[in-house]
Structure 1
Amino acid sequence: MSTIVEVQATDPLMPAVYALRHDVFVVEQGVPEELEVDDDDKVATHLVVVSDGRVIGTLRILCHGRTAKIGRMAVSASSRKDGIGRQLMEFAATTASRRGAEEIILGAQLTAREFYKRLGYTEEGAVFDDAGIPHVMMRKTLQR
């Protein structure tokens, strides 16, 4: 059984969040370590999936007016294909809507774009490079 909690940068769970993101982005995907943690982490709302006392999933939400931007979504390798990503994204949409957002934007890795399409996101614009990984911007209008 897993639980999703909403935390800020000073929460005691954050070292485990950063460790998971490091494993996924730096170790697995080769993102330069200095790009993985940034100043947005200090002001973002972080959603964290905890299972049996372990952090197995996370993402962050940054609100800009009526738009919420989701980023740094990571799920532990052992928990992928268990629906954790979908649960995180649905929880994020509810959280963003509750905070007054009317839409969500995100930069999706090309390998994950079908996942986001199944959740109702649409592609916008050209493919771009982010930390050496091809991405595309995606957007979803939130239901009121």
Structure 2
Amino acid sequence: MSGVYALRREVFVLEQGVPEELEVDENDKLAVHLAALSDGHVIGTLRIVRHEHTAKIGRMAVSANSRKKGIGRELMEFAAAAASSAGAQEIILAAQFTAREFYGQLGYIQEGAIFDDAGISHVMMRKKLRR
């Protein structure tokens, strides 16, 4: 788990300026954490928190030198399959506004207005899962 938290700190706190005290929260204790590894190092991560028939994906991060190589797509596809297998009917996520096209290409639909989270513009997105 330390590699997951180290990557999240690198991406969210150091690169994006998210206050360190906001990066880890109570949902981390409830979440299933996924990690993409290369040579034993965590290069991508996300977490899934279940709320009845909905899975919420969050804290999706890929290391700077591993971006644009399909790591994020693979993590998201694996997360959707895992959530569906566990009985989730849909996935929701708060996408950084600049990443909404990435999630749109994976079938997520934008919902609602833009909002601020930790000083970064976000939008809610949703995807229905097939069984």
TM-score with structure 2 setting the length: 0.99
Number of equivalences: 131
CA distance in structure 1 between the partners assigned to 2:122 and 2:78 by the alignment: 23
Aligned-residue offset at 1:105: 0.1
- Residue segments in structure 2 that go unaligned for 5+ positions in a row: none
* Identity score, percent: 73
1:97 aligns with 2:84: yes
1:78 aligns with 2:65: yes
1:106 aligns with 2:99: no
Per-residue CA deviation, residues 80-120 of structure 1 (Å, 9 max, x unaligned), is 00000000000000010011000000000011000000000
Amino acid at match of 1:34: E
- Runs (4+) of structure 1 exceeding 6 A deviation are none
Aligned-residue offset at 1:43: 1.0
Aligned-residue offset at 1:58: 0.3
CA distance in structure 2 between the partners assigned to 1:39 and 1:50 by the alignment: 25
Q: Secondary structure at the match of 1:120?
A: coil
Residues 1-144 of structure 1 correspond to what in structure 2 (within 5 A)?
14-144=1-131
CA RMSD of aligned residues (A): 0.4
Amino acid at match of 1:21: R
Q: Secondary structure at the match of 1:47?
A: strand
